[in-house]
């Protein structure tokens, strides 16, 4: 009996792997999200979206494959998390009190508030008592939970929730006048107003709330600890602010008149030149080239600046000569020259600068010159920023207008604020053109206002 007893004592069972170990053993990280332009969608170049990129980077850090599972319904998404069919939820939705009570949370990485929106031109509601029709919000979202809380203090508040439409469709309905009101978070509103400038804000409904990934509360803390460490690395390396700038940095400010005018021009003027932009864009997106041209000349072939630049792409005489452009006022020649020039600038940005930062820097160089851009990059490094991240460099561009800074640079004074605004405007126009191009029926002439 003694050998048997010794054998039993010596055969302690191996403890089961924790959650993180299991993911690594399986080689797959299962992330649930909601379809949308701020979360995940299939773009012209493949999968895109802020939450998608965050999840993809996390999977790479863990050394596993990302399996992103997009849902149409918040209820189905959370049900899969509750039943362990997915490892975490990255839906870009604001945290509610119930989320905090039911799920484990990763670190908060953004703040959003909720706004009531209505169609421009309709009477503006300034408080709940001004609403003349029921609100419609997305079922299962943070907005539905917000409505439930508000109704406790406003029993006359009338609202409904729907599982048949997402927030993007509800915003479209409001913009087109088929829905009186909806409620939207500030991230989503900033994106959608680039396509529907007629979306107006009535009033705010809450204070800013955090966004964080959600995990099943019954799991151990191993995956949550890895997520906390991951976001720490993102922030320390400047990667998070660069990624956030890519999706949201250029759209925080909104100009109704400018956005409306651009959409009108895209439908009424751009069709004349689309084939030219497509033909000459080469290695860059033709829609980006078209956005540049609008910023430069508003698609006016005979545009002339007081500084002497001319044409659709506002080329200088010297640049046109270097590119063998015979006439800067010929739209085909101007677009060809502008495309070749910006392509050359992209190639001259140091190879270590990643995409899309090198693209935004090349646009800035198109406006203020490569020498001034390099001065701003030098200032960025001197001040402890990352000269290879556009989000850091654009903060230093305005310093090129201040003597205490530009006197220390190689090329001296530059209109740095203009260069920063130039890039941000192009990025906004580019976003709008992507939307219009993906919905070709929208590229039809607008009725006269």
- Write out pLDDT tens, residues 298-320: 999 999 887 788 999 999 999 99
Set 51, 144, 219, 296: catalytic member: 296
CATH number of this structure's domain 19-111+212-249 = 3.40.190.10
Please answer whether residues 159 and 136 qualify as being in contact, where contact means their C-beta atoms are separated by less than 8 angstroms.
yes
Same fold, 19-111+212-249 and 114-206: yes
Nearest to 352 by CA among 388, 393, 378: 388
Dist. CA 72–CA 115, nearest whole Å: 22
For 295, counting Cβ atoms within 10 Å of its Cβ (0-12 exposed, 13-18 middle, 19+ buried), the class is: buried
Please answer whether residues 388 and 352 qualify as being in contact, where contact means their C-beta atoms are separated by less than 8 angstroms.
yes
For Cα atoms 422, 41, 37, give the angle at the middle one, nearest 5 degrees.
45
The residues, ordered by sequence, that sit 6+ positions from 273 with a Cβ below 8 Å of its Cβ are 290, 293, 299, 312, 331, 335
CA distances in angstroms from 25 to 15, 44, 63, 64, 214, listed in the order given: 15, 33, 10, 9, 22
- Write out pLDDT tens, residues 137-170: 999 999 999 999 999 999 989 999 999 999 999 9
The pLDDT of residue 334: 96
CATH number of this structure's domain 256-442 = 1.10.530.10
- Is this prediction's pTM over 0.95? no
Boundaries of every domain in the chain: 19-111+212-249, 114-206, 256-442
User: Under CATH, what is the fold of the domain 114-206?
Assistant: D-Maltodextrin-Binding Protein; domain 2 (3.40.190)
Please answer whether residues 146 and 96 qualify as being in contact, where contact means their C-beta atoms are separated by less than 8 angstroms.
yes
User: Directed axis angle between helix 19-26 and helix 222-236, to 10°?
Assistant: 80
Residue 119 pairs in a beta bridge with 199
- Write out pLDDT tens, residues 373-392: 999 999 999 999 999 999 99
Dist. CA 135–CA 158, nearest whole Å: 6
The question of whether 296 is a catalytic residue gets the answer yes
pLDDT band at 195 (very low <50, low <70, confident <90, very high): confident
């Amino acid at each position: 009996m003694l050998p048997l007893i010794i054998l039993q004592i010596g055969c302690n069972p191996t403890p089961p792997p924790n959650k993180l170990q299991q993911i690594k053993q399986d080689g797959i990280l299962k992330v649930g999200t909601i379809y949308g332009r701020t979360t995940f969608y299939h773009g012209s170049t493949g999968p895109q979206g802020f939450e998608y990129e965050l999840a993809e980077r996390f999977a790479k850090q863990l050394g596993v494959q990302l399996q992103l599972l997009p849902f149409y319904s918040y209820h189905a998404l959370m049900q899969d998390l509750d039943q362990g069919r997915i490892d975490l939820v990255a839906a870009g939705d604001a945290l509610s009190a119930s989320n905090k009570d039911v799920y484990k949370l990763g670190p908060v990485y953004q703040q959003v508030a909720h706004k009531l929106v209505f169609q421009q031109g309709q009477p503006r509601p300034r408080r709940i008592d001004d609403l003349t029709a029921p609100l419609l919000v997305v079922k299962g979202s943070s907005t539905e939970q917000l409505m439930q809380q508000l109704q406790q203090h406003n029993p006359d508040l009338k609202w409904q929730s729907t599982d048949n439409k997402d927030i993007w469709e509800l915003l479209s309905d409001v913009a087109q006048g088929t829905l009186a009101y909806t409620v939207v978070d500030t991230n989503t509103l900033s994106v959608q107003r680039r396509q529907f400038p007629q979306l107006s804000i009535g009033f705010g409904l809450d204070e800013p709330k955090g966004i964080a990934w959600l995990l099943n509360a019954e799991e151990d803390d191993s995956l949550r600890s890895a997520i906390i460490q991951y976001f720490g690395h993102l922030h320390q390396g400047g990667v998070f602010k660069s990624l956030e700038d890519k999706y949201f940095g250029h759209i925080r400010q909104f100009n109704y008149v400018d956005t409306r005018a651009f959409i009108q021009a895209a439908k009424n003027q751009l069709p004349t030149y689309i084939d030219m932009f497509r033909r000459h864009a080469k290695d860059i997106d033709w829609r980006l080239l078209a956005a540049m041209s609008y910023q430069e000349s508003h698609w006016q072939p005979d545009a002339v600046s007081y500084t002497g630049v001319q044409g659709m792409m506002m080329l200088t005489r010297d640049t046109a000569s270097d590119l063998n452009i015979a006439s800067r006022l010929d739209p085909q020649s101007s677009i060809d020259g502008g495309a070749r020039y910006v392509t050359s600038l992209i190639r001259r940005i140091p190879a270590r600068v990643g995409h899309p930062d090198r693209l935004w820097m090349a646009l800035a160089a198109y406006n203020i010159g490569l020498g001034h851009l390099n001065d701003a990059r030098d200032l960025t490094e001197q001040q402890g920023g990352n000269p290879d991240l556009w989000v850091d460099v654009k903060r230093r561009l305005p310093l090129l207008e201040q003597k205490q800074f530009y006197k220390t640079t190689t090329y001296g004074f530059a209109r740095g604020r203009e260069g920063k605004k130039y890039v941000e405007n192009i990025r906004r126009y580019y976003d709008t053109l992507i939307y219009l191009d993906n919905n070709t029926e929208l590229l039809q002439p607008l009725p006269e206002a």
